[in-house]
Amino acid sequence: MVIVSITPEIGLDQLYTYAGGLGVLEGDKFLHASRKGYDYIVLTLLYRYGYVDYKFNEEDILPEPQTHPVPPHNILVPDEEFTIALKNEEVIVRPWTYQAKSAKIVYFEPVCPMWARSLVDRVYIEKNEQERYYKYILLAKASAEYIREKIRLKNIDIIDIQEAYGALIVLSLPEYENYRFITHTPGPWGHPYYPRKLLEEEFRVKLSGDEDNIMLTKLAMDKAKKIFTVSKKHLEITKQMFPGYSEKIGYVTNAVEESRWMHPALKRIINETPVELIDPDTLWKAHLEARNDLVKMIRQYKNTVRITEDKMIVVWARRLTRYKRPYFIARFIEEYNMEDVFFVLGGKPHPNDKDGISYARTFKKLMDKYNNVIYVHDYDIFRAKLMLAGGDLLLFTPFPGWEACGTSYMKAGINGVPILASRDGGALELIRDNLNSWFFGSTIDELINIYDDPRAKQVDEKDYVDFVRKLNEIINLYPTEKYKETMCNILRDTYKEFTMKRLFSQYYPWIEST
């Protein structure tokens, strides 16, 4: 029996058809399924120009189309074209497949007419609302046609809907019953609305209720037999947001595929020694190899930099947006800049996120001002591997309640890199304060509006004071034996509970057990 996952994005090392965490998570799941030989099929869209890159002129940071590291058609195999109806027109769709053992990704590309081709130019970037609507209607209708004709309903064990943008499959494939819905964010962008009239016309259905606009999250929740959040805290936040669905909602905390994210030096050790027996000196030697790889990357941004072993490397690397609080590390660098610490900042904003663009400008100015700061404006999977494995400390700073789970700290932890984290997402399940990493800040069990609620600023100020205190303590601790023991602890705890083996055993216990 086949597992089908429908997702708006997926991130492989070879293709830039992703924007952030969801895409990379789906890529990790696919790679694990491939490695284990599972019948696992991912349905998504083929974005010709990927997401977005940035370039700098003297005054500003400017978005530009991202280019694929290799032409997508070099690694994808075309399948038989088919047609769907969109805007009362016939649209020709070509599936492109990426096969890895029994696992497969199917990328849908509209071939013509031209207006349909432009729907999939970029991931999460559209010219207008209408283009955004039809992009995911295309995903739903193409997925339904492919399932009916190629996979066949009788062969499907389960269909997992990843995030609300995949929810329209329940309208295009209404005869199927065994849907599950995984929500990946509490933020409002994760719960989009579509016009009722448009949905009824495109899918030839009569929807219940009388609202002019339909929330896609509720559309999926109504049809799904089970709803998953991606951490324990996200579960509690989601139940508050959608109390009518509480009995259906559970959680499976995110994880990472260790074969993808673990540095080769550490892989060599683990192939020879059980993880619980790795001693601090052995781990430190492997870490220095990963660190040296990161230093080589740093020199591509500042070729005069010299970083000795006793100079700590602190990494902040996330999507640049307000709720992830990039302004914490920016403020710290300005107020407490230290010559014995090197700061590696990374992340891309969405080109329509004014706050995010502002943070990118701030990071660039810090890089220009201080010799011990670089900003990785072209942050991607390749650079993330170097930064998360080679840094000495990862900062994870989201506003509490807003991060559904996060996985960057897991990717650091699987390399023995400790974390300083706010009390949010899945970090609450991994981190043992002062033992395998550190916490700072407030415990908040509700979704405070960070844009309008005056409490948000109060939380920020209180959390920042604690952030400064903890970060200074950690800097003073590096690189003592206590620090190296902390590294061993985070490696062991991450390897034990936050890999894809555990995640698959919870999502799909009938094919993988712990």
Q: What are phi and psi of 231, to 5 degrees?
A: -165, 165
pTM of the model: 0.96
**What per-residue confidence (pLDDT) applies to 473?**
97
Cα separation of 24 and 34, whole Å?
Answer: 15
Q: Under CATH, which number does the domain 258-497 receive?
A: 3.40.50.2000
Number of helices (H) and strands (E) in the chain: give both, helices first. 18, 20
> Residue 274's closest CA among 15, 117, 496, 110?
496
Residue type for position 181:
F
- Say if residues 81 and 109 touch (Cβ distance below 8 Å): no
Pick the CATH number of 2-256 from 3.40.50.1460, 2.102.10.10, 3.90.550.10, 3.40.50.2000: 3.40.50.2000
| Three-state helix/strand/coil letters over 84-123 | EEECCEEEEEEEEEEEECCEEEEEEEEEECHHHHHHHCCC
Condensed to tens digits (0 to 9), the pLDDT of residues 178-194 reads 999 999 999 998 999 99
* DSSP β-ladder status, 77-78 and 89-100: antiparallel
> Residue 255's closest CA among 26, 415, 435, 438?
26
Q: What angle do CA 360, 165, 100 make, to 5 degrees?
A: 90
Please provide the DSSP assignment of 197-247 as one string: HHHHHHHT---SS--SEEEHHHHHHHH-SEEEESSHHHHHHHHHH-GGGGG
Per DSSP, the three-state class of 375 is strand
Sequential pLDDT tens for the chain (514 residues) = 899 999 999 999 999 899 989 999 999 999 999 999 999 999 999 999 999 999 988 778 889 888 888 888 899 999 999 999 999 999 999 999 999 999 999 999 999 999 999 999 999 999 999 999 999 999 999 999 999 999 999 999 999 999 999 999 999 999 999 999 999 999 998 999 999 999 999 999 999 988 999 999 999 999 999 999 999 999 999 999 999 999 999 999 999 999 999 999 999 999 999 999 999 999 999 999 999 999 999 999 999 899 999 999 999 999 999 999 999 999 999 999 788 999 999 999 999 999 999 999 999 999 999 999 999 999 999 999 999 999 999 999 999 999 999 999 999 999 999 999 999 999 999 999 999 999 999 999 999 999 999 999 999 999 999 999 999 999 999 999 999 999 999 999 999 999 999 999 999 999 876 4
Q: Where are the alpha helices (DSSP H) in 306-380?
A: 326-336, 354-369
Burial class (CB in 10 A: 0-12, 13-18, 19+), 404: buried
Residues of the chain with CATH 3.40.50.2000: 2-256, 258-497
